[in-house]
Amino acid sequence: PSLCGIDHATMSAEVSATREVLAALGSGYLRRPDGYSDLHTARVAAELGYALLFWHVDPRDWRRPGAEVIARHVLRNCFPGAIILLHDGGGEERSQTHAALHLLLPALIGQGYALRSYCRTHPHP
């Protein structure tokens, strides 16, 4: 669901429901579910102690276009420092994303990329 256009109380409840999970990961960042943001979303996130996190490469793996398509999109659009958005959860079938990772990880490492968790390399501001 989008965080844009919902009232303060609803957004606070949605974000607070994931607080324990995010805290366990050591994350002070919030990735909006649909990628859209507005000033209201940023303000509420800040009030709740989160900074908004954006991504650079979205192969739309949730559409299940095939592992090769996912991997090709990432490899064509990746650059040093890029944040790659992939999905693993929500009860959906993710075998294509998993298969794409088996193609992507060796290829990216072979190109000299080092894969890191954003939250671990960029402490919460």
Same domain (yes/no): 28, 76: no
Q: Give the residue numbers spanning the domain of 35.
A: 8-52
In a shared domain, residues 66 and 45: no
Residue 1 lies in a domain: no
Instruction: Please indicate, yes or no, if residue 3 is contained in any of the structural domains.
Output: no
pLDDT score for 87: 87
Q: 3-state SS of 5-44?
A: CCCHHHHHHHHHCCHHHHHHCCCCEECCCCCCCCHHHHHH
Do 72 and 103 lie in one domain? The reply is yes
pTM reported for the whole predicted model: 0.76
Whether 47 and 80 share a structural domain: no
Distance separating alpha carbons of residues 13 and 94, to the nearest angstrom: 28
Q: Looking at residue 124, what is its pLDDT?
A: 65
Block means of pLDDT (10 residues each) for the chain, length 125 residues?
A: 75 77 74 79 87 91 95 97 85 88 97 86 70
The tally of domains found in the chain comes to 2
The confidence score (pLDDT) of residue 61 equals 94
pLDDT at 75: 98
| Assigned domain for 14 exists | yes
d(C-alpha 18, C-alpha 88), whole Å: 16
pLDDT for res 70: 97
Tell me what pLDDT residue 45 has.
86
- 33 neighbors 3 (Cβ within 8 angstroms): yes
In the prediction, which pLDDT does 89 show?
A: 67
- Residue 50 corresponds to which tokens in the numbers above? 């989160």
pLDDT of residue 15: 77
